[in-house]
Structure 1
Amino acid sequence: MTTVTADWLQTVDALKEVPVSQLQWFIDNSEHHHYPVGSTWFKAGDAVPGTHIVISGRAKLYLQQHNDMVELMTLEPQSITGYLPFSRMTKAAASCEIMEDMQVLTFPREKIDDLIHQHFELTQALVHVMTSRVRDFTSLQQQSEKMMALGKLSAGLTHELNNPASAVLRGARSLKQHLQLVPDVFKALMNLQLTEAQVDAINCIMFEVIHQGPPPPMGMLERSDKTDELLDILDKYKVENAMDIAENMVDFGFSEVHIEQFRKHIADKAVSPVLNWINTNLVTEKMVTDIEEAASRISKLVDSVKSFTHMDQGQDKSWIDIHTGLQSTLNMLEYKLRKGNIEVTRNFDTSLPQVSAFAGELNQVWTNIIDNAIDAMEPNGKGHLTVTTAMDGKCLAVKITDNGPGISPEIKDKIFDPFFTTKDIGKGTGMGLDIVAQIIRHHRGHQKVNSEPGNTTFTVLLPLHD
């Protein structure tokens, strides 16, 4: 075993400024322990006996979740852990397994008062260790939760971006092939030698219908009847590609009345070439519209990502419309909502004033709560999510309600505790709602939850003024 001296303790970075006399007092009042490899040092829930300094060996801290072990960190030589001055820790939050034979110096908790009253520099050093531990641990867990949330969002976002991107690619390729056929149709039209007045009349009728926009959605039977009506009149004038033309014209809202309007300005022999040229324009219009809609969908998703991460603004508080973040979050989770067959109702009071907030942090709050609601409704195969904004006294209230099975009374008081989760391994760290609570406290607000089977509501209250 390593002989522990005051000089050795001064090699520990946190203790290097502590007087030798205080370190020797610490050694004299401490206990030496040896733990063999493969043994368990302590388990989550065990009482913490005192302050530990690892002299040699290694151990790993881990959490047990659904029979799986989630590793948190590794204790190396010179690590300081356990109870520290002014800490509120009474029980271990995690378990510890010895990876290499370990020698530990343990200062008993019963003597902490003597330490605090008699040895200022040593107390100060250990308090600094505690604050650093809290800061590093909180940062680590927040980053872990952010990465898990990002993983959830990225899967759906990838799918959502892939669909319109593929649509743009398909549309571009189809449009390229279609445009190669246009010269033949145009040549047939030129051979008719139409007058300028005839061309203007045809264009006027065609674009008047196009600019009206597509007709209301039709059932299969109604659409079939309208197509047959157009086919009858197209066959009357012996129009080539009649079926293709009829189907496209129905999509744009053309009827037999428009065919007769075209007919008034051209001879019978010109009807087929003219309608084929019009059909070419309709096909082009349809392809360009599909590409535009797909590109618009991509743009909407990119805007949602930008708004969600708030990457174009600084890290300071700013006055924000709460609905922007809520809508961006719903956009980001749209794939998961659609996959879960979840209907969303937005009861937004858009007249609410802006709030001073860290927009990116609040988006993390909405993501965690809504994602939990989606997971809760998953077993039903469908669900209803309601997001409501309203005034509540001097606070702005955001209520997120789901019709899942509810939260049992046994765990309701634990859901905001660190590491508490009912999700399977890999689906949750148990830090999501703890981080929600931290962020809300950061905004000087508070949260509450009411739950019964079929109706669970998380309410976030944010003060309107700093």
Structure 2
Amino acid sequence: MSNVISVADLNKVDTFENIPDAQLQWLIEKAEVVELKDGDVFFKKGDPITNTHFMLEGRLSFRAEQAGQFREIAIIEKGDITGTLPFSRTKGAGGMAMATQDTTILSLHKDFFREMIRDHYELTEILVHTMTSRVREFVKKSEQNDKMMALGKISAGLAHELNNPASAVVRSAGELKEQLKLQPDNFKKVITMKMDPNQVDAVNRILFANASAGPQQMSLMEKSELEDDITDWLEDRGVEDGTEIAEIMAEFGFNLDTLEELYEYVPDQFFPPVANWFNSVLSTEKLVSEIDEAASRIAKLVKSVKSYTHMDQSPERQLADIREGIRNTFTILGHKIKKQKIELKENFPEDIPQIKVFISELNQVWTNLMDNAIDAMPDGGTLEIAADFDKDYLRVHIIDSGTGIPEDIIGNIFDPFYTTKEMGKGTGMGLDVVQRIVNQHQADIQVRSKPGETKFTVCFMRNL
């Protein structure tokens, strides 16, 4: 496009479709034409924003700085309006803009806004509509980003936490299937035995007394010694695979005295099949217990996630005990806490009052604050969650023993897209989300930091 812009040129741009020609002529006379080549930088981070920019041709890529690198956050194309707008409080660029095509921009300085508002209604109207759309789109995008970040943290935590119990179910179910294949042969040997009812009752009593007690806790050395003793005892009485049977018997607390009592009720020729039957019953009991324990763990995790996201609940403020949301967040981030060997400390008053909150949104606050705290302790440390209250306020403190926040950047940490993390490890939106949710609760958040201790305090009014 030529440096000389005409009203006819502007009429070809949808943005100016309903603007009177006289107003377009005024815009052409007051504005400056900016021509950019592919790869030219239009503005840099920190540059003052003093103009409204009308995109006539080409494309601009808006990029935010993140840990020394730039990440694309928006594309501006023909017909779009960017830069400052009437009544906007924007002062400086939060990132940089680069042309990714040959680009033509009509740029109007804000010094002409007063005249435009006074004399050119339709032109002012499209800028006001742009401002409204910008705010609406930003809020919509921010809400979506909030949800995606929360979902990302939940997914990562849940995947790690579910993996172990799910694997345990699969492993135990496979072993149980193999174990059941042996049952017909063992059953045949047992059913052909001839024992009187008193003997059968005694054998059942000994078997199920130990089975119902479940696996016993003992040291590795104690268990190993007991297995050796049971193996020798079984093999002395003609039991094959004594080592395998001894392992499960030792686990369920059988000892030589129990085996001697059992031996009194079982004729010599029947003892090997009885021992194998014991092995089958105890192995099945163990595998079923493992599956039950793993399934219970999965159910607990699902319950925690459901409570964390506040599924099937009203989105309105509700009275809640903030400890529940914080503990659910511990569950969600449990894999990360364990991986980095972080010690958790709770310091809550027993009589902590309930407050009215948006439960799901508040859980995002705890998640972002705790996640940042964990990231600040890559080599381990202590994460303490504490609370105190008086008649007017409830305060929650998230304290970590990490590296601390440098004094020269602590004032920027709540700014959108501001992050010190490497590219791909943070969006710079976490604390901005925290700030907005805290404001939504008419609460306040403060941070104090020094090497070895960073403390975020969220202060809620009790009587809302």
Q: Same fold (TM over 0.5)?
A: yes
Alignment of 1:186-335 (within 5 A): 186-216=187-217, 218-235=218-235, 237-335=237-335
- Output the CA distance in 2 between the equivalents of 1:9 and 1:132: 22
Q: 1:118 to 1:451 in 2, by over 3 A?
A: same
Q: Does the Cα contact within 8 Å between 1:323 and 1:350 map onto a contact in 2?
A: no
Deviation per CA, 1:84-136: give whole Å up to 9, x if none.
Answer: 11111111122111122222222211222333455555444423322321331
- Shifted more, 399-408 versus 320-329: the winner is 320-329
Alignment of 1:367-378 (within 5 A): 367-378=367-378
Give 1:29 shift.
Answer: 2.7
User: Which residue identity lines up with residue 140 of structure 1 in the other structure?
Assistant: K
Q: Does the Cα contact within 8 Å between 2:214 and 2:286 map onto a contact in 1?
A: no
Partner in structure 2 of residue 3 of structure 1: 5
Q: How many residues align?
A: 462
Note if 1:30 corresponds to 2:28: no
Question: Alignment partner for residue 418 of structure 1, among 416, 419, 434?
Answer: 416
Q: Does the Cα contact within 8 Å between 1:6 and 1:23 map onto a contact in 2?
A: no
Question: Alignment partner for residue 432 of structure 1, among 423, 430, 433?
Answer: 430
Cα RMSD (Å) = 2.7
2:5 partner SS: coil
Q: Does the Cα contact within 8 Å between 2:66 and 2:428 map onto a contact in 1?
A: no
Q: Does the Cα contact within 8 Å between 1:446 and 1:462 map onto a contact in 2?
A: yes
User: Which residue identity lines up with residue 154 of structure 1 in the other structure?
Assistant: S
- Output the CA distance in 2 between the equivalents of 1:100 and 1:454: 48
Q: Does the Cα contact within 8 Å between 2:391 and 2:462 map onto a contact in 1?
A: no
1:410 partner SS: coil
2:288 partner SS: helix
Deviation per CA, 1:150-184: give whole Å up to 9, x if none.
Answer: 44543443343333323222222211111111122
Partner in structure 2 of residue 60 of structure 1: 61
Q: Does the Cα contact within 8 Å between 1:148 and 1:428 map onto a contact in 2?
A: no
Q: 1:120 to 1:393 in 2, by over 3 A?
A: farther
1:413 partner SS: helix
- Output the CA distance in 1 between the equivalents of 2:125 and 2:348: 51
Q: Does the Cα contact within 8 Å between 1:53 and 1:78 map onto a contact in 2?
A: yes
Q: 1:446 to 1:10 in 2, by over 3 A?
A: farther
Partner in structure 2 of residue 456 of structure 1: 454
- Output the CA distance in 2 between the equivalents of 1:387 and 1:209: 42
1:377 partner SS: coil
- Give the gaps of 5 or more residues in structure 1: none
Deviation per CA, 1:379-433: give whole Å up to 9, x if none.
Answer: x2x2222223443553333322221111121111211112211100011111110
Q: 1:356 to 1:23 in 2, by over 3 A?
A: farther
TM-score normalised to the size of structure 1?
A: 0.89
- Output the CA distance in 2 between the equivalents of 1:231 and 1:34: 89
User: Which residue identity lines up with residue 247 of structure 2 in the other structure?
Assistant: E
Alignment of 1:337-352 (within 5 A): 337-349=337-349, 351-352=351-352
Q: Does the Cα contact within 8 Å between 2:5 and 2:28 map onto a contact in 1?
A: no
Q: 1:168 to 1:58 in 2, by over 3 A?
A: same
Q: Does the Cα contact within 8 Å between 2:7 and 2:21 map onto a contact in 1?
A: no
Give 1:268 shift.
Answer: 4.0
Note if 1:384 corresponds to 2:382: yes
Note if 1:364 corresponds to 2:364: yes
1:95 partner SS: strand
% identical equivalent positions? 44
User: Which residue identity lines up with residue 129 of structure 1 in the other structure?
Assistant: T
- Output the CA distance in 1 between the equivalents of 2:20 and 2:208: 90
